[in-house]
Amino acid sequence: VTPHTPLGTGKEFDAIRAMVARWGASADGIGDDAALLDAQPGESIAVSTDTSVENVHFRRAWLTPEEIGWRATTAALSDLAAVGARPLGVLTALTVPPSWRPELDALSSGIGAAVAAAGTRVIGGDLTSGGELSITVTVIGACTRPLVRAGARAGDDVWVTGHLGGPGLALHAWQSHREPPAAARARFARPEARIAAARWLADHGCTAAIDVSDGLVADARHVAMASGHVLTLHLDDVPCVDGADALAAAVSGEEYELLVTAAAGAIDAGAFARASGVALTKIGAVASGTPGVVVLRGGNRVEISAGHDHFSA
Amino acid sequence: VTPHTPLGTGKEFDAIRAMVARWGASADGIGDDAALLDAQPGESIAVSTDTSVENVHFRRAWLTPEEIGWRATTAALSDLAAVGARPLGVLTALTVPPSWRPELDALSSGIGAAVAAAGTRVIGGDLTSGGELSITVTVIGACTRPLVRAGARAGDDVWVTGHLGGPGLALHAWQSHREPPAAARARFARPEARIAAARWLADHGCTAAIDVSDGLVADARHVAMASGHVLTLHLDDVPCVDGADALAAAVSGEEYELLVTAAAGAIDAGAFARASGVALTKIGAVASGTPGVVVLRGGNRVEISAGHDHFSA
C-alpha cells in the first residue's frame, strides 16, 4: 500500500479528498503526478480506456448514481477480462456538471464498489467541471499470456459466458417508457467484469477472447476478422435471460460477457461453472473460409446487421 | 511494432480508421480490447490521466483543432515528465459532438504530433459522441527511479525550467477580447512536455519534481506539503516570458514546465541547457519548518493565493 500524497486547498481538491475518503482501502497512492505500479517479471502490461457519457451511454432517469459509477467502471474492467489480465489499478477521469455535484459521493461509491469487486484499487484520476457528466475509466493490468481477438483457429468451439439479452431488454423497455423486468434491469445497471472467469479460460486452452460490448454477432465478427476465419453461431444455443428472444440477445450490447474460442473438447463447462460461478455455453464453431460470421436458426441462415454505432446519428 | 487488429463496420469504426491512418507510424497495435506493453526488468510503470473539456480548459475561438489536440496530449505527457518516466504509450478517449466531427482529422493530427514529439505512440482509446468536446489522454510510462513530490530535503535548491507567464498572459488577453502576443499564445497553444529534460534531472540528483499545472506557487505548495518542508521562492529570480510580470508568472497555470529540487550545488544549469535546449533557473531553497511556501520579492514577503480551481464557480 502506497500512502496518499497530501492534496492542495480549494473545492476541487476538497471534492477529490471526499472521493478518496469514500473509497477507503480501495484507493491507493493518490495525489502524485503519476501513479506507480509494478508487474511481475515476464508479465506484459495491458491497458484500456472507456468513456461513459450521460445521454449517450445511459440516462439519469434509468440508473442511480451508484449504478452509473459501477457500470462505467465495470465496462472498462471488462476489457482487462477480454485479454485475460489481472487488474493492477484503475484511473478515473470524471467530468461533473454543477447539477451532478451532489451525487459525486454516490458516483464514487459505485466506482469504488466495482473496483473492489475486481480486487483492485483506484490509483489516480482527474476531476473537472463540464457541461455533461462523463466518466472515463482507464484500467491497467498484467498478464503473462494475453488473450487476443486474432487467436481463433479452424476447428475451435465458440463459447459464451452467462446469459445474454438483459441490457437489450432493459433499453427497449426504457425507450418504450416502461420499467424493465428486474433481472434485465440488473444486467444493464450492474454488469460484472468476468476477470476471474477469463483467467480460468486463459489457463484452460482458450485461443481467442472478446468481451460482448457491441453485441454477440458484432463481437463475433471482430474475432472472425482478426483471426481470418468463419465463426458459425447457432442462435438456438445462445443462453438468454428470462424474457429475451435469441435474436434480440444476439444484438444486445454492453453485456460484458465473454465470447471465447477454444480447441474442440478442450474446455469443461462444468468445471468452469464450479470455479467461476458463471455459466459457459457452446454456441458455435470456427472454420476456414472468407472471414465473417454465419448465424443459423433451426438450420437456416439469418442475416443480422452490426451492433451499436454511437456515430450513426 | 504490433500490427493493428481489423476494425468493424459503421461510422464510429470509419472515424477510428481515419484517425489511425492520420497517425501513421505514431499508432501501434490499435484495435484489440486492451493494448499490451512491456517494461524493462526493474522498471516501475507510471500512469496518469488528464481531461481537457471545451469551455473549461480552452475555447474553440482561441485555438485551432490541431492545437487543441496537441495541448490536451501534452498536458497528460507532462505528468510522465514530472515523475521522470519514459513514455511507453498513450490512450486517447475522445467525446466528439456532431459539430466537431469535421475537425476530427485536425484534432487527430495535433494528438499525433504531440505523441511523436514525445517519442511515443497511440496504442488505443475510445471514441464516442456527446454534447461537448472532451479529450481524456492517459499516458503510460516506465522508470527505474521515479521522481515524487515528497522527496525535497532541507538545504535543497529549488529550480524551474523554461520561462513562465505565457499561458496566464494569453488567457488574460483572450478574456479581455484581445489577441495575445505571439510568444505568450504559443506557450498556451503549444506547450512542451519536458520528458527528456526530466530524465536528465532524475539522472543528476534531482530530489523532487512536479510539473507546473496549477501555477508555480500552488505547485511549490504541493511539493512543500508532500515533503513536509518550507519552500522559499524568490520572485525576482523567476524566469518570465517577455511581457509577463513575475507575480503573474507565479500564478500562471498549465505551463507544463518543471519545478524541481536538488541538493545545493548538485545541478549544473549550463550542462542541463546544453543537453536539453531548455533554460534552468534557481528560484529558491528548501528548509525545515511548518510545511508551506514563502514567496519573497525584494526581501519582503508576498501573499499569493492558490491556483486554478475548476470547481470554484
pLDDT tens per residue across span A77-130? 999 999 999 999 999 999 999 999 999 999 999 999 999 999 999 999 999 999
Q: How far apart are CA A205 and CA A225, in angstroms?
A: 21
Q: Is the dihedral of CA A278, A185, A137, A106 positive or negative?
A: negative
pLDDT at A313 over 50: no
In chain A, residues 268-307 whose CB comes closer than 8 Å to chain B? 306-307
Residue ranges in chain B whose pLDDT is less than 70: 306-313
Interval A131-136 mean pLDDT: 98
What confidence score (pLDDT) does residue B311 get? 65
Cα–Cα distance for residue pair A270/A249, rounded to 1 Å: 23
Task: Please give the average per-residue pLDDT across A170-178, as a whole number.
Answer: 96
* The predicted structure's pLDDT at residue A311: 66
Task: Give how far B210 is from chain A: nearest CA, Å.
Answer: 7
Among B159, B102, B151, B135, smallest CA distance to B273 is for: B159
Q: Flag if A36 and B141 touch (Cβ within 8 Å).
A: no
**Is some CB atom of chain B closer than 8 A to the CB atom of A313?**
yes
CA distance A279 to chain B (A): 22
The pLDDT, as a whole number, for residue B7 is 86
| Residues of B whose CB is below 8 A from A88 | 45
What's the pLDDT score for residue B313? 45
The pTM of the full predicted model, rounded to 2 decimals, is: 0.95
φ and ψ of A199, to 5 deg: -70, -35
pLDDT of A84: 96
| Residue A308 pLDDT > 60 | no
Tens digits of residue pLDDT in A141-159: 999 989 999 999 999 999 9
Contacts of A173 (CB under 8 A, 6+ apart): A179, A180, A181, A184, A185
B126 vs A contacts (CB less than 8 Å): 49-51, 136
The sheet carrying A122-128 orders its strands as A122-128, A86-95, A134-143, A44-53, B35-37
User: Looking at the predicted structure, is the pLDDT value of residue A15 above 90?
Assistant: yes
A-B Cβ pairs (cutoff 8 Å, strict): 255
Taking residues A43-62, report their average pLDDT: 95
Residue A310: pLDDT band (50, 70, 90) is low
Q: Do B311 and A15 touch (CB under 8 A)?
A: yes
Q: Does B126 touch chain A (CB under 8 A)?
A: yes
**pLDDT for the residue numbered A225:** 95
* pLDDT reading at A309 higher than 90: no
Chain A, residues 29-58, CB within 8 A of chain B, namely 31-39, 41, 44-51, 53, 55-57
Kindly state the cell numbers that stand for B147: 521522481
Interface of A with B in 199-238 (CB under 8 A): 209-211, 214, 218, 221-222, 225-226
Partner-chain contact A10 B226, CB within 8 Å: no
Q: Do B311 and A12 touch (CB under 8 A)?
A: yes
pLDDT of residue A9: 84
Average pLDDT, chain A: 94
Q: What pLDDT was estimated at residue B297? A: 95
The partner residue sitting opposite B95, judged by closest CB among A32, A46, A51, is A51
Residue of A nearest to B29 (CA): A148
In whole angstroms, give the CA distance from residue A181 to residue A170: 7
Phi, psi (degrees; rounded to nearest 5) at A93:
-105, 110
Q: Per the CB < 8 Å rule, is B134 touching A95? A: yes
Question: Looking at residue A306, what is its pLDDT?
Answer: 57
